[in-house]
Structure formats: structure tokens, C-alpha cells
Chain A
Amino acid sequence: MRKQVLLQGNEACVEGALIAGCRFYAGYPITPATEIMEIMARKMPETGGVFIQMEDEIASLGAVIGASLAGMKSMTATSGPGFSLMQEHIGYACMAEVPCVIVDVMRAGPSTGLPTQPSQGDVMQARWGTHGDHPIIALAPSSVYEFFELTVQAFNLSERYRTPVILLVDEVVAHMREGVVLPQKDRLEIEDRLHPTMPPEWYIPYADPGTGVPPMSAFGDGYRYHVTGLYHDVRGYPTVRTDEVEPLIHRLFTKVSKDFDRLQWSDSFETKDARVTVIAYGCVARAALQAVQQARGKGLKVGLLKLKILWPFMRRTIAGILESSAKVLVPELNVGQISREVKRVNQSRCEVVTLNKVDGTPIKPAEILQTLEEIYP
């Protein structure tokens, strides 16, 4: 029997990273993400890994990408202002297909904003913050245990698809403490990037092996190749040829989109017969669960769909909810970011109601309950 331990969200994140095999951390201090860095500063040397405090967040993600190219599972953690600075290298990691994990503990913005009140304002920045079209994966935990679990999954997905994976966490989940029972490492599935098995002279670094994800050699392993942020041909060399540019961007998208069915990660509560379904994520999903339970107690047929993955957006799961519910309610700690996606998928099937709060305080169960009662058909 594993013992229950009391952990802070940020501490659980580090536990997840270590179990997933993270051995490189580069970062820059910023509240409310700093605990991750401080614990990593102690843990990395103990586990034979590398910790370095860089001069800014741009440099942090640069070092993380470098370490990943040299074969190490690598991560960084930041908050809104630092996340803005990291956008340049998120795009680079997408284009050069370098696995890495970026934790963004969201605080209210824009700019320096409200340090360090909770927010969910970076959802769209995670999707479109870096320039150009690109696929992205972003996960959103709503409890300390989920922060642990999704950190492990963030590494797995980044290794599987060779893409940066973002953990979008709000300050509430990052700083709260809960009793959790962490699983043993051998009970978890840990994925590693595919390494080339062919002789170096046969290695074509960006050729599609059929899965959309080419095997990745580490610098120093004898497979000398070129990595660039420019559009490149299958050898990694810069190109402007339309017959090479188009297949690359197509592959970058389809390597993730072909697995949309596998990436529908959510938890449902009482959604089967729900006339109104709440769609929520992060700390708001916790308040929503309580509100739904209270509403059920009052005889209202309501349910909750808790999203654990925000990008790629779970079109299929959401479409099912929109089909079966008369109304959906999307409460968020922003002016309406995921609700826009819900409305996009909706196409007038059902009424989408929003509940937004941007004053730096969390949404309370009573506020969701009140809205549910008001809109209940």
C-alpha cells in the first residue's frame, strides 16, 4: 500500500516530471510557478540531472530545446509574462520537432497583471501565441493528483509526437495542497522518443516513417544532421520549394490530428441525462462539480464535462455534449476563451451560456449554481 502524502500542486508537478524521466530543467523565477524551479534546483543534482537558472525565459526554453536535442527529457515552468517571452521558442520547437514540456501557471494578465491571482487567460496564447500555423498540445489539470498525472502525460505526448506540450495550470491548482497517493513508477506507462535504428548514412532526419513522427537522434550519437527553424526538406536543409514546404506543414498537423480520437481526455459527471451541461477545466471544474451536485440535490438534471486536454480542442466529445444537452454553461476565469471554441463546434445546435470572471478571484460553486438555476429550461 502506497502512503498518502500531502503535496502542493507545483510539488506534484515535479514528482510527475521526475517519474517521466525529466533530467533537465532551465528556468527563470516567476510567481506562482517558482516552487517548481526551486524544487528542481534541489532534485536535479540528486537525480543526476541538470538544473540551470537562465537569464530570462527566452534563454530558458532555448536551453531546454538544446538539452532535448542532446537527448535529455527537458522542461521549464513559468507564468504569463514569461510565457509571452517563450512564444518564440515554442514555435521553434514546433518547427524543428523538439520534445519539451512547458508549464504555464496562469496568473491574471495582460502584462504584469495581477500577481499572483488565479486566471485562465492564457488558453488562446497557448494555442496561437507563437507566429504561424502550427499544431499544439495543452493539458489542464484541476487537482494536485491530476497535475502529477498530466505532467507525466505531457512528457509522454511530447516524446510521442516530437512537439512542445504545454501544461496550462491556474494558480489555485498550483498552490493548493491535497492528500495524494502517488503510483509506483512501474505502474505508469512512460514513453520515450523513437531513436533511429538504421546506420547513420541511411538516416533521413525528417522523412515520414508512416506515423508522421520521424525517429530522433541525439547530437553526439553519430547521426550528424541539420536542425533549423526554417522550412526544411526531409534532410533538414532549408527550402522554399512548394513541393517541400506544403508536405512539411501538412505532416506537422497530421501527426497530431490523426490521433484526435486518442486525445479526447475528459471526465464526465452525470452528463447522460443532463439538460444543462457545464463544460469547465482547471480550478473552475472543481467549483462546477460542487454546483452540479448541489443542483442535482435540488432535482435539476445537470451534468459536468471536465476537460483535461484543451488543445487540440476535443471537437468530438464536445459535439456529443452539445447534441444531448439543451444548454451548456461554460464558466471560465477569462472573458471567454474556451467558450469561443465551444460556440465554434456548436453551430447553433444548442444554447451556449458563458460565465466569466476576471477580477482575480476564483468562481465560486454558488455562482455556478445560481446561473444553472437561472438558465435551467
Chain B
Amino acid sequence: MKETAHLVHDYLRSSKRFPHIWCAGCGIGIFMQALIRVIDREGYSKDDIVLISGIGCSGRLPVYVDFNTLHTTHGRALTFATGIKLANPRLKVITVMGDGDAVAIGGNHFIHAARRNIEITSFILNNNVYGMTGGQSSPTTPPGAVTASSPYGNLEPDFDICRLAEAAGAVFVARSTVYHTRLLERVIGMALNKKGFAAVEVVSQCTTYAGHFLKLKSPVEMMKWQKDNSIPIDKAKDMSDAELEGKIVIGVLVDRERPNFHEQYQRLLAEKSKV
């Protein structure tokens, strides 16, 4: 309790009007707590952290925490993050995006931030739905799901965000659910320490909308579903695609080295700068 009180007082904004806007049972708060715990444990200065979001339920996260916080436009968090990181490389730049935010409207920015390997730690809170607008299908909604915008069933296949990040060049890719809080904190820590573009998919529950089409009636059922359907990457390696159908592969999926953009730019500056 003592530790929680310290985290609440040190990291949540006392000047901000609460309660928060998230529905009861939403997974975003679990992620927010995990992020705060790791930042506190790793000893980052609050002044050096810039927390940037796009639009949607996840977009509302930064306002509650006492960092430099920026709530941008839909899908564009990574573009603002790019400008901030290059203007002041000393800053720890973190983005929080939703699934529609990051890989539908922001898909172009996502692949290019990964390709450039710009040092941004990005978290994609995947709840498989557009929650803020009332439960429409997103690029990660399962095929066949009946949503507000697919009343006859979703005709589109869903995206694997982690494979997209890997193919685009991210040097660190991991996935956890909000049920697996220890794993979540571990991969958050690893992502924050990575000197390049890191993408962490956080599978989260939207009990208000996604629970309906996933036929899971409560937050507890949804988190049990996360627990029962997750396969650690070490185990998944020996399984076939058919066996992994509908499963959530969790753990560190990619951890590799590649020159990052701002270090290369700093070298260019050292060479060319006349000031």
C-alpha cells in the first residue's frame, strides 16, 4: 500500500480533475500502472519523459500522469514524437496508441518510424475495436465479428501488429496482455532501454464493446480469456500455424541491433556543423 501511495502521489497529477474517463473493467489503467511502476523503478526523471498519445481511449492516458504530456491528432503521435526526439535527443520519448490509431489511420507513420529506427518507445494498446466512437471494427477485429460497423460480420482479415513492426524494421518487438502484468512490466522495461524503435503490443480488454462480439460477458471473463489463450514465445516456436490460430503469442519476439536515426544524425552534425 505504501508503495502504491507513493506512486499515486508522485506520478498522478494532483491538479487534474478525476475520475478518469475509462469504463469500469477497461485494461488501459492496468497498463498505465505498469508503465508508472517501471518508470519509477528504472529511475527516469519525470522532466525527461515525454509521453505522447493519439486519439481514442488510449489517447486520454497522458493527461493523468505528471510528465511532459502531449495528446496529438488521430494516428499521428509518432510524427510529433519524431520531431521531439530529434529536437532534443536527451528526452525519453514514449508513445501510447490504440490499434485503430497506430495501424489504421496511423499505419503509414508506424511503418516509417520503425523503418527509420528512431528512438521512440511505442506502446500499442490493442483492444480489437474502436471504443471511443462506439464499437466499430478496427484492423485488429477478428474476421466475422459483428460490430457497429460490420453488422453482417467483419469481412476483413486482422492485422498482426508485431509482425508488421518486425517487417518494418523495429529493433525491439514484444507482446503481452494486461493479464500478464509481470511480463508486461518486464517488456516495458526492456523497450524503454532499447536504443531504437521499440514496439510493444499490449493486448487489452474493451469490456464495453469488444466483449460483446468476442462473446465474453465481463472483464473477468475477458482477462481469463487472455490467460487461457496466450502462448509464450518459447512454446509457440514449436507449434504449427494451425495450432496457433486464435492464440496470443506473448513475450519478446524481436530484439536486435541496427543503427538508429538520431545517432546517425548526431554523427552527421559532428561532421558538418560549423557552429
Residues of A within 8 A of B (CB): 24, 26, 45-48, 50, 52, 54-56, 58-72, 74, 88-89, 92, 218-222, 224-230, 235, 237-238
- List the 7 closest A-B pairs by CB distance, nearest first: A66-B83, A62-B79, A63-B83, A70-B87, A66-B80, A67-B83, A67-B87
State whether B86 touches A59 (Cβ < 8 A): no
Q: A24-B87, A66-B84, A88-B73 are in contact. Are A54 and B273 (CB under 8 A)?
A: no
A-B contact pairs, 15 of them (CB 8 A): A24-B83, A26-B83, A45-B271, A55-B109, A59-B112, A60-B79, A63-B83, A63-B86, A74-B87, A89-B73, A219-B84, A220-B91, A229-B71, A229-B72, A237-B15
Q: A62-B83, A65-B80, A74-B83 are in contact. Are A225 and B90 (CB under 8 A)?
A: no
Residues of B in contact (CB 8 Å), total: 42
State whether B62 touches A226 (Cβ < 8 A): yes
Closest to A26 in B: B83
Please give 5 more A-B residue pairs, beta carbons under 8 A apart, in addition to A62-B79, A62-B109: A59-B76, A62-B72, A62-B82, A69-B70, A69-B84
**Interface residue B150 (Cβ < 8 Å from any Cβ of A):** no
Contact of A220 (CB < 8 Å), options: B48, B63, B112 = B48
Q: Within 8 Å CB of A48, what residues of B?
A: 269, 273, 275
**Interface residue B68 (Cβ < 8 Å from any Cβ of A):** yes
* Min C-beta distance of A179 to chain B, whole Å: 26
Q: Within 8 Å CB of A69, what residues of B?
A: 70, 80, 83-84
Which of A24, A54, A63 lies at the interface centre, i.e. has the most chain B CB atoms within 10 A of its CB? Answer: A63
Residues of B within 8 A of A (CB): 13, 15-17, 46-48, 50, 60, 62-63, 66-73, 76, 79-84, 86-88, 90-91, 108-109, 112, 265, 268-269, 271-275
Contact of B272 (CB < 8 Å), options: A46, A67, A89, A235 = A46
State whether A52 touches B50 (Cβ < 8 A): no
Q: A62-B80, A89-B76 are in contact. Are A46 and B87 (CB under 8 A)?
A: no
Contact of B79 (CB < 8 Å), options: A58, A220, A222 = A58
Q: Within 8 Å CB of A56, what residues of B?
A: 108
Q: A46-B272, A48-B269, A55-B108 are in contact. Are A70 and B84 (CB under 8 A)?
A: yes
Q: Within 8 Å CB of A228, what residues of B?
A: 63, 70-71
State whether A225 touches B69 (Cβ < 8 A): yes
* Min C-beta distance of B185 to chain A, whole Å: 23
Q: Within 8 Å CB of B13, what residues of A?
A: 226
Q: Within 8 Å CB of B82, what residues of A?
A: 26, 52, 54, 59, 62-63, 66
Closest to A88 in B: B73
**Distance in angstroms between the alpha carbons of A58 and B273 in the assembled complex:** 28
State whether A58 touches B76 (Cβ < 8 A): yes
State whether B108 touches A24 (Cβ < 8 A): no
Q: Within 8 Å CB of B62, what residues of A?
A: 226
Contact of B91 (CB < 8 Å), options: A46, A55, A61, A70 = A70
